Structure 1
Amino acid sequence: MSIKKKLGLGLMSAALGIGLVGGGTFAYFSDTETTNNTFAAGTLDLSVDPTTIIDVDNLKPGDWMTRSFELINDGTLDISQVELSTNYTVSDAMGDNGNEDFGEHIRVNFLKNLDKDSLFQWPHENVIVSTTLADLQGDVPDAVENQIWAFFGWDDEASGLSAGDSDTLIVQFEFVDNGQDQNAFQGDALELEWTFEAHQTDGEAR
């Protein structure tokens, strides 16, 4: 065999060896698993029943009106707070109210959450609000707060509103008779808007 043929065969053998070695570096065992993951957000859904809590006419000083309504958690998440915001507008029929605000003469004698009443403490009634509409406009109370809380952990309910649960509230309004001339309010009307805003509970490890 000529020297050229020997050199050619040698080079081919070397190239084949290098190729096999190089190919061997990519040989390995493998196994693959795939996970399927889901993130689904819950819902915060508060409703009020009835949506019109009070609708009265022909009021006179000294009249009072007691009504009840429910706050209902129709969502899938627990509610930590339900903030109550108050807004109202007054229609002055005679145009003679001057600086008098009809809202200062309509008092919420009480707004109570009956489900948060205490069984073992005094007072037993969980009063959320007791003030005039004028003063309540600047306040944002929590309608589902247990303000008298537990006696060694024994009580009706903690603050908040669990998913699927409801709280019964009772409210009493009064057109306060202040013993003075209140003729300026004859024929007047007050439109009250109560807005209940629910807030979620704090985040937690899941």
Structure 2
Amino acid sequence: MSIKKKLGMGIASAALGLSLIGGGTFAYFSDTEVTNNTFAAGTLDLAVNPTTVINVENIKPGDVMVRAFKLENNGSLDISSVDIKTLYDVVDAKGNNKDDFGKHIKVLFLENADKTGDGWVIGDYNDVISETTLYDLKNMTPDAVENVQHWITWFFGLNGEDSGMEAGTSDQMYVAFEFVDNDKDQNEFQGDKLNLEWTFTAHQTEGELR
């Protein structure tokens, strides 16, 4: 065999060996970029100002009590609704109650004035609670920030804000309670005390494409 053939076979064998050892690798260009990403959750932060809506003593049948307070959205997310849950307990001073004191305390109205807008012109107020006793409210969860005004105010453009609360805003609320005089003997309630707890629970708006 000639020297050229021997050299050629040697080179071929060496190339085959390198190919087997390298596992078929090959050279290529590359470029790498790194992205830094964040998912930051928003906050729901509802406040009631003042935290005590009413604290009154020595009431008697026929008394009406009007108070004002604000609901504040101090969070970074809009609120779609604010449920009101009613709980109360009665301190029976003489231990002689045959009836529930809560049946005799009525919420004449709970108005969201920001949702009322100019509806007051035609006597249409945005009352989220109307003519309901505390006893009945225990089984209800009204929405404090709902626009419930009549279609007439909507038709004439007198409605206030839409339902819900945008972040950084507040709603002015007015509430009127009445110790109902039922023209009957209510002496059993003399000296009694009713402790009312209203819990306001805010809910987020629906998710959206971001």
Q: Please confirm whether the aligned pair reaches a TM-score higher than 0.5, indicating the same fold.
A: yes
- The aligned amino acid for 2:174 is I
* Alignment-derived partner of residue 102 in structure 2: 103
2:195 match: secondary structure: strand
Partner of 2:36: 36
Asked whether 1:196 is paired with 2:200, we answer yes
State the Cα distance separating 1:123 from its structure 2 match: 4.2
For 1:55, the equivalent position in structure 2 comes to 55
Deviation, structure 1 residue 64? 1.1
Distance in 2 (alpha carbons) for counterparts of 1:181 and 1:155: 43
SS in 1 for 2:44: coil
2-structure distance, mates of 1:15, 1:68:
97
Matched, 1:27 2:27: yes
Checking the alignment, whether the CA contact within 8 Å between 1:74 and 1:164 is kept in structure 2 is: yes
Residue 91 of structure 2 is matched in structure 1 by 91
Give the corresponding residue for 1:146. Answer: 147
**Separation of aligned partners in 1, 2:8 and 2:68:** 102
> How far apart are 1:11 and its partner, in Å?
4.9
Aligned residues: 203
- Whichever residue aligns with residue 136 of structure 2, its letter is D
Structure 1: tracts of 5 or more residues without a match? none
| Separation (CA, whole Å) in 1 of partners of 2:102 and 2:208 | 42
Quote the offset at 1:193 in angstroms: 0.1
Q: Aligned letter for 1:178?
A: N
The CA deviation at 1:32 is 1.4
Q: Is the 8 A contact 1:118 1:124 kept in 2?
A: no
Residue equivalent to 2:161: 157
TM-score (norm 2): 0.88
Deviation string for 1:117-168 (max 9, x for gaps)? 0425854310011200001111000000001273376632100010000001
Equivalent residue in structure 2 for 1:17, among 11, 15, 18: 15
1:87 corresponds to which letter in structure 2? L
**Structure 1 runs of 4+ off > 4 angstroms?**
20-25, 120-123
Question: 1:115 corresponds to which residue?
Answer: 114
Per the alignment, residue 187 of structure 1 pairs with: 191
Q: Which runs of 5+ in 2 are unaligned?
A: none
Cα RMSD after superposing both structures: 2.5
The offset of 1:10, in angstroms, is 4.9
Contact 1:43 1:76 (8 Å CA) reproduced: yes
1:75 aligns to what?
A: 75
